[in-house]
Amino acid sequence: MLMVFGMAGCSFGKKEPVVDEVFKPSLDSSASCHINVAGGYDNFEALEAEFDRFNEYYPNVELMFTKVDDYNNMIGTVLNGNDAPDIYVNYSWMYGRDQYKSSIEHAENLADPSLRLNLNCIRSNIILHTDDGELPMVPVFSNTYDMLVNNSLFEKEGLKVPTTYKELVSVCEAFREKGYENPMMGFSKEEKTSLF
């Protein structure tokens, strides 16, 4: 289900999305059921648009959203309750932290070959496999990071402003070689997110 929300525009079986191909649902579109989605979203309108899009393919499926207050601290409790949601959100930073162990353990192993999921349209470097090879989450939403650049510093050091991730890594190494301990503000060696 998460795959449908996050990858409805992807071309399954290919490395790059193909715009010309029309998405065709792989499940029986006449199926009828109720699916409860839990999250901490305050702006339901954005998710409602995704529900409407999903119902274009599966018109007989009733989707219901439940907002969980203090989501990050409460999702484990909700998952252990009698009304556990069918779909919920894990974040990459939850993995490996005891406080969120329950949330990770309740997740479907999306690496299970019997699910026949083709994840080729997701960049492999943002897919988080656990230490034992399971895949408890795939990126559905993604963030875009902006960067402010001190052009004077680049000019002073004779370096070119990067335009790709590879160039970013190289220019950071060059700054470190020139004595700059942390060329990027916000960097933390303790940070466990997928960004670093």
pLDDT of residue 189: 54
**pLDDT tens digits, 123-162:** 777 888 888 889 998 887 666 566 788 999 999 999 999 9
Cβ atoms of 134 and 109 within 8 Å: the answer is yes
Residue ranges of domains in the chain, CATH in brackets: 2-126 (3.40.190), 144-196 (no CATH)
Lookup result for tokens 């648009």: 49
Contact status, residue 3 vs residue 117, Cβ threshold 8 Å: yes
CB 76 within 8 A of CB 100: yes
pLDDT value at residue 106:
93
Contact 171, 162 (CB under 8 A): yes
Task: Report, as an integer, the average pLDDT of 111-122.
Answer: 87
Give the tens place of pLDDT for each residue, 9-37: 443 444 444 455 777 888 899 999 999 99
Q: How far apart are alpha carbons 100 and 104 in whole angstroms?
A: 7
The pair phi, psi for residue 73, each rounded to 5°, is -90, -20
Over residues 50-96, the pLDDT tens digits come to 899 999 999 999 999 999 999 988 999 999 999 899 999 888 888 88
- For position 173, what pLDDT does the model report? 94
According to the model, what pLDDT value does residue 188 have?
53
CB atoms closer than 10 angstroms to residue 136 = 20
